Structure 1
Amino acid sequence: MAPLQLSLACWDYDRVKALEDGRVRPEGIELNFLNLRVEETFFRQLKNQEFDVSELSLSSYVLTLNHEDPPFYALPVFPSRFFRHQSIYVNTKAGITHPSQLSGRRVGTPEFQMTAPVWQRGILQDEYGLNYDAPHYFTGNVEPSSVERKEKIALNLGDNVKIQSIPQGKCLAQMLADGEIDALESATAPSTFGKHPDVGRLFPNAMQVEQEYFRRTGIFPIMHVIVVKRSVLEKHPWVARSLTKAFAAALDYAYAAIHERGALRYILPWLQFHVEETQAAMCSDGEEKWWQDGLTSQNRRTLDKFLEYSFNQDLAKKKWHVEELFAPGSLEGFVV
């Protein structure tokens, strides 16, 4: 039988590179790997459902579950994870030295429903007592663009959330530098960071703060999931398991590459020491892998916390159970 032809839109991360170059081939599937930046993938998939399989924002995926007929199922594969304390920026002249001081302040965010700001708002509320609806939010492009940035998914927020779009022609990066907003919660760094004297991080020692956060909570924030169109899985339910196994094999190749010591695979001269530091901060009980897919106890804890944030911030229509996110059959052999 000829293999099933499926398109996969994903950035070419090290953990999926073996799927892109063919070292890993999913059983019964021939993938057309489309190496696309996440912004393009998310827009095209959410608007037109262009790809059989794709990387997708965790937050956007959870919001698709609000639909009467959701278009996707997720796989327990997490191509993007990121500690987000480091991605909160402030205008240093605003006098903000503690997260609680963002109450009543003007805070920029590209989209309210973006995964990174959902995590950031939740963490600032849990850890520092800043209610998610305390700031006044301004949404729009981080950098100059001729296209106005809007929410990819329509929202139904409570009246307690103060939110407005920035004027056409403005961008959050310059507004932060000019003091038109006091802070920015984002995924990308604004271009004014490191170039304008009045733009700095809310947490100057972000790496230490993030490591301490992980030690206390065991949470390594998940940003993106891999989704499959439900129409594909209705015809070929075995695809979920086949793809999940293939992504796991590709992740193993990434670990092998980062541990290579005969020659540097990456342009970081002290890569070995970065790896050792990461293992010391994030691994325990002899475990060597700090980035894992599947529904491990750590991943379950992380996803459950995100689902709590999504619901509490008026985004998800209910507090979903973790297992409800994933395609039937995709968790077999992966639950810990």
Structure 2
Amino acid sequence: MKPLFTMACQAYDRMEPLRSGSVPIGGAELNFLDLPVEETFFRMLKFGEFDIAEMSLSTYVLTLAEGSPFVAVPVFPSRAFRHSAVYVREDSPVTDPAELAGGTVGVPEYQITAAVWVRGILAEHHGLGVGSVRYRTGGLDTPGRVEKLALRLPAGVEVTPAGPEQTLSRMLLDGSLDAIYSARNPGPFNEPGHGGLRRLFPDPEAVEREYHERTGIFPIMHTLVIRRDVYERHRWLARELVKACARAKDAGLAGIGETAALRFALPWLWAEAERTRAALGEDWWPYGFEPNRTNLETFLRYSHEQGLAARRYEAEELFAPETLAEVVV
């Protein structure tokens, strides 16, 4: 009888074949739980409920300092460019990131991956030093969100929680914040006319495309982790999981540019697929270590520079060693 593993991960197109069972994991049965990412992160980090789970790259890196209860594999279910994740009021005089210096910025949690990328990109490429703004943390549209992990930040980085009844969206609208860095749109932004908010970059797609052309980076947000006790009992699982996820990605993205009968309900998705291939290459969502080395090294540098990671980790330290080794036949 094959061992059964429970995996919690959002059912993205690149993961759907694992959920449906059309792509199996060699030697294993899979119980796939399609959960929102915040729920998966919380339950895995606090209670270790799953054998395999999607996890914030930043959160995983922070667990390494105390001897992580997880082991990652180089599979990246979520990636996103993040110039589009900076929001200001519609009437804000700020038109350039450097103009936020001296201001106050809201982030759901200081350590979330999206915020690490935004701070790093704005510091390295747009002249806004990480310590040049103050940070307020809390729920974007629902009060009460707190950091999942205790942080030991260096002097010069000011991070304070919002009040128990405050939300970042409301604080931005009432002038308590000058900007928000958020992976999700603030609630008001989804309203007609964007609810009095705008993105800081007027054409973020153009800025993000230029960033990729210059750096080669399509930022990694999440990785897959195996609970360490499961990994130590089933070392073979790490490599088989990577192989299965690669097959699932290929199957899930097949037909994305089809024109005869649209697989997805977007009329010009074929054109976007062609533009994406032209800009990012045939494998624009790579798994594995070497194709993502620069991406990972940049993130690890940002995490350390921002006072989050205990030291500047080598990218190889993140993953099960057998997933880094080449199989020679």
- Please confirm whether the aligned pair reaches a TM-score higher than 0.5, indicating the same fold: yes
1:231 to 229, 232, 250: 229
Letter of the 1:181 partner, please give it: L
Task: Say whether 1:193 aligns with 2:195.
Answer: no
Write out per-residue CA displacement over residues 35-92 of structure 1, whole angstroms, 9 at most, x where no aligned residue: 000000000011011110000000000001011x310111100000000000110123
CA deviation after TM superposition for structure 1 residue 236, in Å = 1.1
- d(CA) in 1 for partners of 2:312, 2:322: 22
Letter of the 1:304 partner, please give it: E
CA deviation after TM superposition for structure 1 residue 230, in Å = 1.2
Residue in 2 aligned with 1:65?
64
Asked if the contact 1:296/1:334 (under 8 Å) is kept, the reply is no
Q: Secondary structure at the match of 1:133?
A: helix
Q: Secondary structure at the match of 2:29?
A: strand
Task: Say whether 1:305 aligns with 2:274.
Answer: no
Residue in 2 aligned with 1:292?
286
Which range moves more in the overlay, 41-50 or 257-266?
A: 257-266
- d(CA) in 2 for partners of 1:334, 1:149: 44
Letter of the 1:269 partner, please give it: P
Asked if the contact 2:257/2:271 (under 8 Å) is kept, the reply is no
- d(CA) in 2 for partners of 1:174, 1:150: 17
Letter of the 1:317 partner, please give it: A
Asked if the contact 1:240/1:328 (under 8 Å) is kept, the reply is no
- d(CA) in 1 for partners of 2:113, 2:138: 15
Normalising by structure 2, report the TM-score: 0.96
- d(CA) in 1 for partners of 2:326, 2:260: 34
Runs of at least 5 residues in structure 2 that lack an aligned partner in the other structure: none
2:314 to 321, 326, 331: 321
CA deviation after TM superposition for structure 1 residue 8, in Å = 0.1
Residue in 2 aligned with 1:8?
7
Letter of the 1:295 partner, please give it: F
Residue in 1 aligned with 2:133?
135
2:323 to 317, 323, 330: 330
Residue in 1 aligned with 2:25?
26
When the two chains are superposed, the root-mean-square deviation of aligned CA atoms in Å is 1.4
Letter of the 2:233 partner, please give it: K
Runs of at least 5 residues in structure 1 that lack an aligned partner in the other structure: none
Counterparts of 1:273-292 in structure 2 under 5 Å? 273-283=271-281, 288-292=282-286
Letter of the 2:198 partner, please give it: G
CA deviation after TM superposition for structure 1 residue 159, in Å = 2.1
Task: Say whether 1:46 aligns with 2:40.
Answer: no
Moved beyond 2 Å, runs of 4+? 194-198, 259-262, 331-335
CA deviation after TM superposition for structure 1 residue 233, in Å = 1.4
Task: Say whether 1:156 aligns with 2:135.
Answer: no
CA deviation after TM superposition for structure 1 residue 179, in Å = 1.7
Letter of the 1:175 partner, please give it: M
CA deviation after TM superposition for structure 1 residue 93, in Å = 2.8
1:175 to 160, 166, 171: 171
Letter of the 2:302 partner, please give it: Y
Letter of the 2:41 partner, please give it: F
Counterparts of 1:101-140 in structure 2 under 5 Å? 101-140=99-138
Q: Count matched residues.
A: 326
Letter of the 1:19 partner, please give it: L
Letter of the 1:78 partner, please give it: F
Asked if the contact 2:84/2:205 (under 8 Å) is kept, the reply is yes
Letter of the 1:314 partner, please give it: G
Asked if the contact 2:257/2:274 (under 8 Å) is kept, the reply is no
CA deviation after TM superposition for structure 1 residue 144, in Å = 2.3
- d(CA) in 1 for partners of 2:141, 2:263: 32
Asked if the contact 1:8/1:54 (under 8 Å) is kept, the reply is yes
Write out per-residue CA displacement over residues 83-133 of structure 1, whole angstroms, 9 at most, x where no aligned residue: 000011012333111100111111000000000000000000000111111
- d(CA) in 1 for partners of 2:231, 2:321: 9
Letter of the 1:150 partner, please give it: V
Q: Secondary structure at the match of 2:189?
A: coil
CA deviation after TM superposition for structure 1 residue 175, in Å = 1.5
Task: Say whether 1:250 aligns with 2:248.
Answer: yes
Write out per-residue CA displacement over residues 215-266 of structure 1, whole angstroms, 9 at most, x where no aligned residue: 0000100000000011111111101011110000000102213133331111
- d(CA) in 2 for partners of 1:163, 1:197: 27
Asked if the contact 1:295/1:334 (under 8 Å) is kept, the reply is no
- d(CA) in 2 for partners of 1:255, 1:44: 29
Identity of aligned residues (%): 48
User: 1:73 and 1:334, CA in 2 relative to 1: closer, same or farther beyond 3 A?
Assistant: farther
Letter of the 1:290 partner, please give it: W
Task: Say whether 1:272 aligns with 2:288.
Answer: no
